[in-house]
A and B are shown apart, each in its own frame.
Chain A
C-alpha cells in the first residue's frame, strides 16, 4: 500500500512538472521573455534578473551540459510516462513513444494549469511570470554558472506530440491541479548550477533550496563516478577577491549562491581538498600542534579516536587552542601589521599592545556568527601581503573588496590550514564531525560499489548470456549510441541488477577497502564516469527504441519507490560494501542481461581517456532520443546519472522533481535555439 501511495505522490509530482512545462509553452510560445519581464513589482524585478541571466547562461552552457540536462529531463518524462502507464494497469513499457507521449497527455491538461498560474504572471511578461510562482525570490541567479530556473520556451518535442492518451490525461486533471497547488506551496527556489570539475570538465545540475551540499556532492559522485572519497569538496571561488571556500556539507547550496551578484564571475568547483576533513583524519596535528610533528606522525588510530571523542563528543566542542603571530591588514591601508592572535570558541582575538595574554585583555577581532572564512590566492601581488598564505573573514554577502573584510596572512601554508580549520570548528562545531562521519559512510559505500563493479566483469559476463558485453562497452566508449540501448534499458534495473556481483565481492574482500585509498580508485573513477555516461545516452534511446523490454518495465513500476530509495541511498546507509549489493540483489533477483553490460564497462576504462571531456564531441549516432535531437549524443553527462538512478531520482523529494518543469522548458528552449543554429 505504501508503495502505491508513494508512487502516487511521485506521479503527482511528475505531473506538475509536465504540466508546467506545457503551460509555459502555452502561455508564451515565444522565447524572448528576457526583455519583457523587466517592469512590474519587485517580484518581477527579481525574476527578470534571473531571467536575463538565464538566457546568457543557457547560451553559455556547453553543449554537453545542455545535453546532459536535457537527457535528464527526457528521462524524467519517460519515467513519468511509464508510471502513468503503470497506474493505468496497462504496463506497456513503450519506451519510444514515452518521451513524446507525455507531452501529449498533458496537452489537454495544460488549459487547466494556466489559470492557476495566470494570477501570478505579470501582465507585461507572461513568460517570466510563470516561473515566478515557483521561484519568488530568485535574485540569486548568476550569469554563466547559475541560472534561476525560469521556464520559458516551449519544448519542441512536447508541443508537437498529439494526444495518444488524452483521456487519461483529462482524468488526471484534478490531480494535476492538486499537484500544482502543492508546488506552489513548496515555492522551492531552484538554481541551475554549473559545477566545474578539476579535470577541466563541468557538470550542470539543478539544485533546489532544500538540498544540502552533501546531496549535491552525492549527485556529482553519481555523475562523475569519481572515487567518492571524503576529500571531495564543493567550493566557491571569487575571482574578484581571489578567494576560495569549501562549502560545508550541511550548508544549503542555494543560499550562498544567492549572495552572488548578477555579474558575478564566481564559480562553483568540485575537487578534492585535503584540508576538508584533515582535522578528523589527523586530529593530533590540530589539537597538539605545539608538539613536535614527527612525534605525532605515528599516532595510533586509537589515540586519534580518543582525541576526537574528547574534543567533539562532549557537551561542547573544544576548539584547538591556536595562538601565534599573524599579519593583519590594516583597515583601509596597504600595510600589514603583526599581531598575536588567539582562537577561542567565541571568536578570534588578538593581544592589544602592551597587554598580556590574559583573557580579559584580549581584543576581539571577529566573532564567527556572520562570518565565513576563505582561502586567498596571490595576495602577495594583490595586497602586498608578506606571504601568499592568506585567508580572509567576511560576511558571505560581501563580494568585493571592503573595509568590512578582515585580511590575515600566515607565515606558512600549514599555519594557514591550522587557522582556517580552527575557525571552521569554532563556527560549525559538532556539525563538522557529523558531516565527516556521513562523508565517510558515503565514501565507503561508494567504494564498495566501485569494487563490485570491478569484480563484476568476470562473474556477470559469464552468468549473463548477453551479447559480448565487453566489446560493447568498448564500443560504447567510441560510439555510445548503439550500445546504449542495452544499458539504457537496464538503467533502472542496473542497480538492482547487481545480483551476481555480491558473491564475488564477498570472495574478494580486499577491493572494498581500496576505494577509500586515494591511489587506486582515482584513476578508475575517472574512467568509470565516462563509461557510464556513454551507456546512459543510449539509455534514453533504448527505452524508446527497444519495445521488447518485458522484464525491465515491470521492475520499474512496482518497485520504483522502494527501489529508488535503495538505489539512491545505498551508499549512505550501507557502509559495508558487500551488504549493499546484497540489498539490491534481493530487490530484483532476476539478473537481467544488463548486468553484464555494466560489469563489462569497468574493465575498458583505460581506453576511455577522453570520454569526460569529449562527451560533447561524440558523434550523435542514432537519433534515438526524440526530444533532444542533436544533443542526444551528448547525453553522456546527464545520462550517466540517469542510468543508474533515473527512476530513483524521480521519487526522491530532494531532487527538485517538482520544479523540474520550469527548468525543463528553459532547457528545451535553449535546445531549440541551438538546433536552430545548427540547422543554419
Chain B
C-alpha cells in the first residue's frame, strides 16, 4: 500500500512550529496516527486527553479504530493533535467568572454535563451555554473582572470524589478553592444601583428575543462552533422546568438559579408588578443578610457555640412553657411604656396623645398613666390578624407604627408613635408577631427586633444623608430594578420593602431562596423564551413566538398581547425543513402552523421545543441517569440522524 505524508500540527510544540510530517498508509487507524505523532514530538507527558482535529472539515476524529481511509483523510488534510479539554471562561448566573477545563470535543450537551458535574449541579439538561453578546466597544476594564481559576480540578470524564453534601472533594484542596465553592453556593452581595442601572435591559419582547440567538448548538462540539481556548461563555438555565429541586443536594444549583432569577427581575427581563417587586426586594435583602451571617458563624467557632447554646436554651424554655402553664404565667413577657397614640378615624384635630401602654400576649392595652395600669384599660386591642405597617423616618426621628386592626365593622386604624429606635423596634416586633398570632414569648422575638433595627440602619446610611457608606450596608435601591430606582427615593422605598419584609423575615435561607423562586415562577410571563418569527400562515408581518415548558404562544409584536396558544400535548408532530429553515408543527384537529425564525437559527427553536418535550419525559420516579440519546433524538435535527 502506498505510503504518504500526513501533516499534523501539535499544539505542544508551539503555534509557530511547522506541522509534523508522518508517513502513513491509508489503512492506518487514527490511534496509530496519534501514536506516531506522539513519538515524533519526543515529549513525554500524559497524552490521553488529546485527539485529532481535522481543520478543513471542522471535525473531530474521535474513533481510534477507524482507518484514515474510512475517515476520508488524504494527503491534503491538515490535522491537529490537541487536548479535548481546554480552559474556558465561564460566567455563572451569579456573575462570577470561572476558568475551568471544558470538553471541546463532545456535543455541548455533554460538555455542559461535565461542567455541571464539576460544579455539583444536578440536572445539567436544564442548562446550556450562551455566547456573550457582541461587545461594540472594547472595554478596557475587562482586566478588572476577577477570574477564579479551577482548571486544577480533575477532568469530569473521570469520577469525581464528592463529600457527603455533594461538594466535590477537590474544592477542599485549598482555601482558594473552598472560597470558589462558597461563591458558587452562596448568593452574591448586591451590586451598587448605579452598576445595575448601566447594565443592558431589554425593553420589548423583540429585545428579549435577541438573547435566544446566542445559545450554542447542543449537538455539536465547542470547537465545531468556533470557540477557542479561553473564550468566554455564559452558563445559564435554559429550560424553565426545574426538576426535583432538593436544597440539601442542590446548594449550587439553587443559588445559581436564584441568581439568574434575581437578575432577570432586576434587569426587567421578566416584568412584575410593584407589589411583587417589593416582595422580591425584601427576599433579596433577607437572603443577602442571612447568607452573610451564615458565613460569619461558620468562620467563628466561638460564636457558633454561643449560638447553639442560646438555641438550646430557647428550646428548653419553650418546652418548659408548654409543659407547665404555671411557668407561663410567671414568665409571660410584657412590654410597658409611655407611647403616643393617634386614631385618624375619629376626625378630630387631636394629635398624638400619650398613654401608658402595655403589650401582653397579642394585645395592646392602654391606660391613662402607669399608676392606673392596675385598673381597667381605656382600651384593649387584640392585634391578631391585623396589618402592621411602619411609618418611619430616621432622619426626621419619626417612629410610628400603623396598625389596621380588623373588627366586625371594618378596620380600625391606629398609629402608635415611639420616641426612639430602640422602643420602636421592640414594639414593632411585638406587633408583627402578634399579627401572626404569636406572643412576645415566641423565640423569634429577639431576631425580629434585630432585623427591624438593621433595616432602620439601612435607612440611616442611604445616600440621601451622604453619610459614608459602610461596606455592609445595603442600598435599598440595589434591590429593585432601575425603573423603581427612578420612581422612588430610598426614603420611600425602605418602608415599602420593610412592609413586605415582615412576611419573610423569619424564613431560613433555603426557604427564602425557594420562596423567591416560587414567586418568580408564578409570574405570568415566567419561563417564556421569545423569538421573532415570520411567515406565520396567513400573516405577513413578523410576530413573536414564545416558547414555554408546556405551550407555544403566538404574540402580537406591536401590542405584545397573546394571540393564541398551543399546548404541546395537543401536538402531533413537528418538522424542520432545514433547507428553507422553516419549522412546521401539526396539532390535533388539523391545526398546522409553520414559521421561520428571524432572530435565531431555526435549530435553536427546534431545540427549545424538543428540549421541553424531553424535560416533560422526566418524572419523579426515574433515577438520575440522563437519557442523552433521547435528548439528541428530540433536539438533534438532521445532522444528528
List A residues at the B interface (Cβ < 8 Å): 42, 184-185, 187, 259, 261, 303, 306, 310, 314-319, 321, 344-347, 349, 357-360, 362, 364, 367, 369-370, 395-400, 402-405
Contact = CB atoms under 8 A, between A and B. Distances in A.
A75 to B, nearest CB: 31
A316 B517 contact: yes
Interface of B: 242, 245, 271-276, 279, 322-323, 325, 380, 385, 387, 404, 406-411, 483, 503, 514, 517-519, 521-525, 550, 560-561, 569
A315 B242 CA distance: 8
Contacts of A395: 385, 406, 411
A346 B408 contact: no
Q: Which A-B residue pairs are the 3 nearest by beta carbons?
A: A402-B410, A397-B406, A345-B522
Contact of B276 (A42, A310, A346, A404): A346
Given A185-B325, A316-B518, A319-B522, A398 B411 contact: yes
Contacts of A303: 569
Contacts of A403: 410
Contacts of B569: 303, 306
In the complex, which of the residues A316, A344, A358 has the most CB atoms of chain B within 10 Å of its own CB atom? A316
A497 to B, nearest CB: 40
Contact of B409 (A259, A310, A345, A400): A400
Nearest to A318: B522
B245 to A, nearest CB: 6
Nearest to B241: A314
B385 A42 contact: no
B407 A358 contact: no
A345 B561 contact: no
B379 to A, nearest CB: 12
Given A315-B242, A370-B387, A359 B408 contact: no
A479 to B, nearest CB: 47
Contacts of B524: 321, 344, 359
9 contacts: A303-B569, A315-B517, A316-B522, A346-B273, A346-B276, A346-B519, A349-B273, A360-B272, A402-B410
Nearest to A323: B524
A358 B483 CA distance: 13
Contacts of A399: 408-409
B6 to A, nearest CB: 55
A370 B385 CA distance: 7
Contacts of B387: 370
A359 B271 contact: yes
Chain B binding surface SS class: mixed
B410 to A, nearest CB: 3
B496 to A, nearest CB: 12
Contacts of B385: 370, 395-397
B641 to A, nearest CB: 29
A623 B233 CA distance: 89
Contacts of A396: 385, 406
B525 A359 contact: yes
A204 B406 CA distance: 29
A357 B561 contact: yes
A318 B551 CA distance: 14
Given A184-B325, A185-B323, A360-B271, A398 B406 contact: yes
Nearest to B500: A367
In the complex, which of the residues A185, A345, A364 has the most CB atoms of chain B within 10 Å of its own CB atom? A345
Nearest to A185: B325
Given A185-B325, A405-B410, 19 more contacts: A184-B325, A185-B323, A303-B569, A315-B518, A316-B517, A316-B518, A316-B522, A318-B522, A319-B522, A344-B273, A359-B271, A359-B272, A359-B523, A367-B275, A370-B387, A398-B408, A400-B409, A403-B410, A404-B404
In the complex, which of the residues B404, B407, B560, B561 has the most CB atoms of chain A within 10 Å of its own CB atom? B407
B484 to A, nearest CB: 9
A315 B561 contact: no
A421 to B, nearest CB: 16
A659 B96 CA distance: 61
A362 B273 contact: yes
B550 A317 contact: no
Contacts of A321: 524
Contacts of B242: 315
A344 B407 CA distance: 28
A321 B551 CA distance: 14
Nearest to A345: B522
Given A184-B325, A398-B409, A316 B276 contact: no
A261 B407 CA distance: 9
B204 to A, nearest CB: 10
A78 to B, nearest CB: 32
A290 to B, nearest CB: 9
A438 to B, nearest CB: 20
Contacts of A314: 521
Given A42-B380, A187-B325, A315-B517, A261 B273 contact: no
Nearest to B404: A404
B519 A316 contact: yes
Contact of A315 (B245, B380, B404): B245
B408 A261 contact: yes
Nearest to A303: B569
B271 A358 contact: yes
A427 to B, nearest CB: 12
Contacts of A359: 271-273, 276, 523-525
B425 to A, nearest CB: 23
B162 to A, nearest CB: 25
A370 B383 CA distance: 13
A397 B382 CA distance: 12
Nearest to B363: A42
B616 to A, nearest CB: 9
A316 B523 CA distance: 10
Contacts of B503: 369
B569 to A, nearest CB: 6
Contacts of A317: 522
Contacts of B274: 360, 362, 364
A285 to B, nearest CB: 15
Contacts of B523: 344-345, 359
Contacts of A402: 409-411
Contacts of B271: 358-360
Given A370-B385, A400-B410, A347 B518 contact: no
A185 B550 CA distance: 52
